[in-house]
Amino acid sequence: MGKTVNLAQYLFARLHQLGVRSVHGVPGDYTLRALDALKPAGLRWIGNCNELNAGYAADGYARVKGISALCTTYGVGELSAINAVAGSFAEYSPVVHVVGCAARKAYKSKAVIHHSLGDGNLRVFADMYKNVTVASASLFDPDTAPDLIDKTLEQCVKESRPVYVELPSDMVGAEVPESRLATPLDVHPPKNDGKLEEKVLDAVLDRIYTAKQPYILVDGLVAPDQIVEEVNEFVRVTGFPTFALTFGGGIVNSKLKNYHGVHASSYGSLDFTPYTDRADLALLFGPLLSDTNTQGWSAVPKKASTIAFRRNAIEIGESESHALHIKAFMKKLLVRLEPKRLPSDIPQALSLPRHSFRAEPAGLENEKPLAPINQDKFYRHISSFFRPHDIIVCANGTPLVGGRDFILPPKTKLINSSIFLSVGHMLPATQGAALAQKELGTGGRTIFFEGDGSFQATAQELSTIIRYKLDVYIFIINNDGYTFERLIHGLHEEYNDVAPWRYLQAPEMFGAPNDGSYDVETHDVGTWGELAKVLASEKFQNGRGLKMVNVRMAREDVTSNFRAALKLAGQQLMVDPGDEQ
Amino acid sequence: MGKTVNLAQYLFARLHQLGVRSVHGVPGDYTLRALDALKPAGLRWIGNCNELNAGYAADGYARVKGISALCTTYGVGELSAINAVAGSFAEYSPVVHVVGCAARKAYKSKAVIHHSLGDGNLRVFADMYKNVTVASASLFDPDTAPDLIDKTLEQCVKESRPVYVELPSDMVGAEVPESRLATPLDVHPPKNDGKLEEKVLDAVLDRIYTAKQPYILVDGLVAPDQIVEEVNEFVRVTGFPTFALTFGGGIVNSKLKNYHGVHASSYGSLDFTPYTDRADLALLFGPLLSDTNTQGWSAVPKKASTIAFRRNAIEIGESESHALHIKAFMKKLLVRLEPKRLPSDIPQALSLPRHSFRAEPAGLENEKPLAPINQDKFYRHISSFFRPHDIIVCANGTPLVGGRDFILPPKTKLINSSIFLSVGHMLPATQGAALAQKELGTGGRTIFFEGDGSFQATAQELSTIIRYKLDVYIFIINNDGYTFERLIHGLHEEYNDVAPWRYLQAPEMFGAPNDGSYDVETHDVGTWGELAKVLASEKFQNGRGLKMVNVRMAREDVTSNFRAALKLAGQQLMVDPGDEQ
């Protein structure tokens, strides 16, 4: 078969071709030999502290780079990671999960091997993974393995969702033709049916031109759908009032005058419903319409007046759905859009709220220095610290809610969770994102906001950030427990408490070097004055090393308008949690 | 229906009846209302830092108390915990996993709720759980719910394996008849068929009386099978040479002269194969014959000469298997056993190895004080520190292997893993075990041995130990990375490294109080002299609070005879990992 490479080399070469430069994971005996093939393929091993965290980290890396890889051992490793992969599946992060498993003979003999359930059914975990991946490659046959790898990786990119690769330890060394690697993988989106596309373009444009009170609603799948630029251009050209759902909070350039920020119905710090409720057209991009992301669907436009732009379908009104890929469609839409035919008499009162929001005392210097920091203003004030190209990550809980109030500079990226909302997800994801950012060399910093309860769930990945000398800001929103849960139910109950850690000692405990090779600063702030002082420091602004700030906030504080949503959520747990988050 | 209780109260009352006093978990909005019912039912909430750890902790609690409960939220919570529950399934720990999920209406409408995959299939996680539990109760109907709970909990105890309880948030308050609670659950083992039992007893006794070179091999399922006393009595009465597999290392009273310790074929520190290989009868109790637990099945007796005593079957030779429950069978066996008919001329040379092992300089004072601590002798030396009623926990990796050399006082309990071997399992399990021990009030201490790599996986549960002021010893076997993996493959590879934590700073970072309410001591030892000094301290021996010892060992050190097993494992990954661990 001519020149050959072994199967692990082949797999890793393909990952490298797709843009992967680092593989997250935890070693295990079934994976060890495969790991030897990483370095020769130009890939770096990032050893996380456990597999769940490695999965979260891979998710964060994928959200920045558009692809990532996770490698765990069979059984214990993959099952530990399955919640992270399920989250990537739910939120469209393309993660390739490589599972090193036993040699093929063990499968044939149904051996009672370690890391299995002991019943001889070695396929059980791969079967579970079918629920949270879009394709899988069970590499049991050297003849079909390369093709299986190719098809599976292509699927990962095309659907922007996780795939599963099962690599028996004795297949690592199987020789396969190297020549295949010369043909790049086909990750292009499918071509649209030209006739259908034109017809739908006509219909969409007609709705746009004849709208009386239109708005654009941008959600987070615009990023994996790779239409961030197109959507921004569409927002700019139309000038339509534009909002984001929480998940899409970082997509639209805040400098655009017609962008008004996050729409969280009456629970947002700004309430846009007087406009949106009366709109006759909602142009909805990249929607992921979970209860949480839409405040119990209260921010979802009526279907009859909606055109939804999804990855593989354009949906018009109540029932029309056309199988068209979004990327090509958006490009054509922008070409065909005639600005002069756009409705010109759109109510403009809307610019007011966001304007007033922006015009508020932006500077911390206008707050009383001794006044305590609160959730209502923290996220707006901290926005002045952000710079273009920064990646901003919000953990679940109060930062996810507060982050709706960010005013982001252009070319920043906001990472948050829309539906899966797994506690602890975002610290490892921040590690992955910071690494991806470093690899891309785009400049900018990685800035992370996380509550104390979340931090405890996956805290050890702080040591991974330190070990690989990544540049990360961590603002611990320290409100002494699960505040988000408290306000739903059990305000003073012990089950919403967490242990009182000394958070700022974490970098040292987790092995921060004291030889000058990596800079760590920690700060404790409870007042606006203390926060202002930290933010003003040039050294703090430089983005190098680890900067960790313990931001003390009141135990029951949350942005004002959202308090009602949490209260309602608590009441409705008895009836229907679907009505409200 | 007369007096009623709500469904959560009913469930928790049943758990209390079975002996549960604490419920491990992480709160989530879908579970919050159920948690209100804990205290009134006499149950304590133990809030772990994440759900995987909570699952491990529940596993440890179950291994001590024979039952435990875990409560997580839907989706993210249960999936995070699934690896722990799978481990409990594989190793027969009876854990009741209560999952708080969305109200029933969301299931009917297939709502896109938070913590789901977003596709409306809300059953997907419950379906996954079917693979790792023996029964499940989906509590969607108030009329059938109490009965479902009863049957599911009974199954948990009867099979000593995990079960799954799905509690929709709107079912928490469903009223059910209180009177049912007056009837205890039926957790008695099934009655044996008397005729069959007599026939099998005859056959077993015949094999015992006519054996020429018999031995007893005790494995870890003897504990969940609840025949620890019966097996010890059988060992005592027969006087047959007795060994344990690694998982069963703590079952037999070490004071019995015919007990020789752990049989790990030629890879154990003592090699019993000259006797076992020529034996004509092996009486195998509570077997879980994984590759790891048997050194690639090399410690498994030939089937033809084996009588295996399993929970629900007595297996004689190659093919005979009789459906009999072990507990009643063992009681009858002891009654019918006539000591005078036992073979009297059993080769006794066997007593030698264990004897010499014991006779070795037991005292640390005989080691050179400045000599480095090594794996070969550490586990024997530390044995002198153990006392009756101690619980001793060995994490996976080198402590699991080294722990084979323990010489345990009577009435100690050894907790280790036999097949699932999940990294990080044992620190949270130690938390659960220490709590269970405290609740039982049997005295004794909880003493835990764990490598540095494992510790990092679940380190935050140290804060749970501290938060609930549990009494625990932790010996960190610090050999700078994944030594176990290194010796299999990749001795000097970066992927077997871990971050250099400052372990002894962990208690303070994790919130150890400094108000005198909880005692913490930390020690760093690298030589026999340093270790001896720590162990000799009366304060250290008292077992109160947290005692943490960083035991520095060489990076590539492992018990001598086992090195060959790891080398072989590395070679055989290419061929068949089933042949050898």
Are A387 and A412 in the same domain? Answer: yes
Phi, psi of B256 (to 5 degrees): -65, 130
Lowest mean pLDDT among A340-349, B120-129, B327-336: A340-349
What does the H/E/C string look like for B145-213? HHHHHHHHHHHHHHHCCCEEEEEEHHHCCCEEEHHHHHCCCCCCCCCCCHHHHHHHHHHHHHHHHHCCC
- The whole-number pLDDT of residue B574 equals 61
Among residues A444, A381, A436, the alpha carbon closest in space to that of A411 is found at A444
Tokens read off for A123: 């396929």
Spatial CB neighbours of B159, under 8 Å, sequence gap ≥ 6: B92, B94, B134, B311
Domain membership flag for residue B189: no
Say yes or no for a CB contact (<8 Å) between B419 and A89. Answer: no
Among residues B449, B311, B521, B413, the alpha carbon closest in space to that of B61 is found at B413
Domain boundary among A149, A182, A215: A182
The DSSP element (H or E) to which A46 belongs, if any, is strand A44-47
- The whole-number pLDDT of residue B566 equals 85
- The whole-number pLDDT of residue A559 equals 82
Dihedral in degrees, nearest 10, Cα atoms A498, A500, A503, A504: 160
Residue of chain B whose alpha carbon sits nearest to that of A89: B117
Residue of chain B whose alpha carbon sits nearest to that of A33: B489
Q: For B469-528, what is each residue's pLDDT tens digit?
A: 999 999 999 998 888 888 888 888 889 999 999 999 999 999 999 999 999 999 999 999
Residue of chain A whose alpha carbon sits nearest to that of B45: A495
Half-sphere exposure of A435 (CA within 13 A, CB side): 35
Are B286 and B218 contacting, i.e. CB atoms less than 8 angstroms apart?
Answer: yes
Interface test with A, best of B56, B89, B99, B115 (most A CBs within 10 A): B115
- pLDDT of B459 > 50? The answer is yes
| Mean pLDDT of the B29-58 span | 96
Are B380 and B340 in the same domain? Answer: no
Domain membership flag for residue A221: yes
Secondary structure (3-state) at A172: coil
Are B243 and B287 in the same domain? Answer: yes
% of chain B beyond a pLDDT of 70:
96
- pLDDT of A348 > 80? The answer is no
Domain membership flag for residue B107: yes
- pLDDT of B363 > 80? The answer is no
Question: DSSP letters along A528-565, please?
Answer: HHHHHHHHH-HHHHT--SEEEEEEE--TT---HHHHHH
Are A29 and A145 in the same domain? Answer: yes
- The whole-number pLDDT of residue A578 equals 37
Say yes or no for a CB contact (<8 Å) between B47 and A510. Answer: no
Say yes or no for a CB contact (<8 Å) between A576 and B459. Answer: no
Among residues A135, A184, A195, the alpha carbon closest in space to that of A13 is found at A184
Looking up tokens 């099952």 gives: A79
| Mean pLDDT of the B176-201 span | 96
Angle between helices B426-440 and B51-65 (to 10 degrees): 40
Strand partners, B174: none
CB pairs under 8 A between A and B: 314
Q: How distant, in Å, are the alpha carbons of A38, A149, A450 from that of A24?
A: 11, 19, 22
pTM value surpassing 0.90: yes
Residue B471 is assigned to a ligand binding site? no
Q: For A64-76, what is each residue's pLDDT tens digit?
A: 999 999 999 999 9
- The whole-number pLDDT of residue B580 equals 36
Residue of chain A whose alpha carbon sits nearest to that of B576: A103
Q: How far, in Å, CA of B41 to CA of B29, rounded? A: 21
For residues A371-381, b (16+ Cβ closer than 10 Å) or e, as one string? eebbbbbbbbb
Are A131 and A174 in the same domain? Answer: yes
- The whole-number pLDDT of residue B565 equals 83
Q: For B92-127, what is each residue's pLDDT tens digit?
A: 999 999 999 999 999 999 999 999 999 999 999 999
Residue B479 is assigned to a ligand binding site? yes
Are B132 and B267 in the same domain? Answer: no
DSSP letter (8 states) at residue A372: B
Residue of chain A whose alpha carbon sits nearest to that of B92: A117
Domain boundary among B301, B332, B353: B353
- The whole-number pLDDT of residue A246 equals 96
| Mean pLDDT of the A367-393 span | 94
B348 alpha-carbon distance from chain centroid: 33
Are B214 and B308 in the same domain? Answer: yes
- pLDDT of A581 > 50? The answer is no
Tokens read off for A234: 């569409």
- pLDDT of B354 > 90? The answer is no
| Mean pLDDT of the B291-319 span | 96
Across the interface, of A113, A456, A457, the residue whose CB is closest to B291 is A113
| Mean pLDDT of the B350-370 span | 67
% of chain A beyond a pLDDT of 90:
84
Q: How distant, in Å, are the alpha carbons of A75, A196, A543, B42, B96 from that of B181?
A: 39, 65, 61, 15, 18
- The whole-number pLDDT of residue B575 equals 56
- The whole-number pLDDT of residue B491 equals 87
Say yes or no for a CB contact (<8 Å) between A423 and B288. Answer: no
- The whole-number pLDDT of residue B338 equals 97
Are B450 and B423 in the same domain? Answer: yes
- The whole-number pLDDT of residue B444 equals 92
Lowest mean pLDDT among A13-17, B434-438, B571-575: B571-575
Domain membership flag for residue B44: yes
Looking up tokens 């991009």 gives: A285
- Going by pLDDT thresholds of 50, 70 and 90, the confidence category of residue B576 is very low
Domain membership flag for residue A187: no
| Mean pLDDT of the A438-467 span | 97
CATH number of residue B346's parent domain: 3.40.50.1220
Q: How far, in Å, CA of A69 to CA of A62, rounded? A: 8
Q: For A283-306, what is each residue's pLDDT tens digit?
A: 999 999 999 999 999 999 999 999
- pLDDT of A573 > 70? The answer is no
% of chain A beyond a pLDDT of 70:
96
Are A394 and A483 in the same domain? Answer: yes
Half-sphere exposure of B318 (CA within 13 A, CB side): 1
- Going by pLDDT thresholds of 50, 70 and 90, the confidence category of residue A269 is confident
Interface confidence (ipTM) of the complex: 0.96
Across the interface, of A47, A424, A496, the residue whose CB is closest to B50 is A424
Domain coverage including residue A109: 4-182
Across the interface, of A291, A457, A572, the residue whose CB is closest to B114 is A291
DSSP letter (8 states) at residue A437: H
Q: How far, in Å, CA of B76 to CA of A86, rounded? A: 8
- The whole-number pLDDT of residue A358 equals 54
> Average pLDDT of chain B?
93
- The whole-number pLDDT of residue A282 equals 98
Which residues of B fall within a CB distance of 8 Å from A575? 103, 105, 170
Q: For B214-229, what is each residue's pLDDT tens digit?
A: 999 999 999 999 999 9
| Mean pLDDT of the A25-38 span | 94
Q: How far, in Å, CA of A542 to CA of B189, rounded? A: 68
- The whole-number pLDDT of residue A42 equals 97
Domain boundary among A182, A206, A227: A182
- The whole-number pLDDT of residue A191 equals 93
Are B276 and B294 in the same domain? Answer: yes
- If one counts the domains in chain B, the total is 3
Q: Are strands B281-285 and B214-218 parallel, antiparallel or unpaired?
A: parallel
Burial zone of A352 (CB within 10 Å; 0-12 exposed, 13-18 middle, 19+ buried) = exposed
Domain membership flag for residue B578: no
Domain membership flag for residue A188: no
Say yes or no for a CB contact (<8 Å) between B495 and A456. Answer: no
- The whole-number pLDDT of residue A579 equals 38
Q: How far, in Å, CA of A47 to CA of A200, rounded? A: 48
Are B377 and B255 in the same domain? Answer: no
Are B436 and B326 in the same domain? Answer: no
Strand partners, A472: A546
Q: For A197-214, what is each residue's pLDDT tens digit?
A: 999 999 999 999 999 999
CATH number of residue B61's parent domain: 3.40.50.970
Q: For A88-107, what is each residue's pLDDT tens digit?
A: 999 999 999 999 999 999 99
Domain membership flag for residue B580: no
Say yes or no for a CB contact (<8 Å) between B79 and A86. Answer: yes
Q: Binding site, residues of A?
A: 452, 479, 481
Across the interface, of B128, B292, B420, the residue whose CB is closest to A128 is B128
Say yes or no for a CB contact (<8 Å) between B29 and A458. Answer: no
- Going by pLDDT thresholds of 50, 70 and 90, the confidence category of residue A574 is low
- Going by pLDDT thresholds of 50, 70 and 90, the confidence category of residue A350 is low
Interior angle at CA A136, CA A132 and CA A138, nearest 5: 135
- The whole-number pLDDT of residue A531 equals 97
Tokens read off for B22: 């604490």
- The whole-number pLDDT of residue B357 equals 53
> Average pLDDT of chain A?
93
- Going by pLDDT thresholds of 50, 70 and 90, the confidence category of residue A270 is confident
Half-sphere exposure of B334 (CA within 13 A, CB side): 15
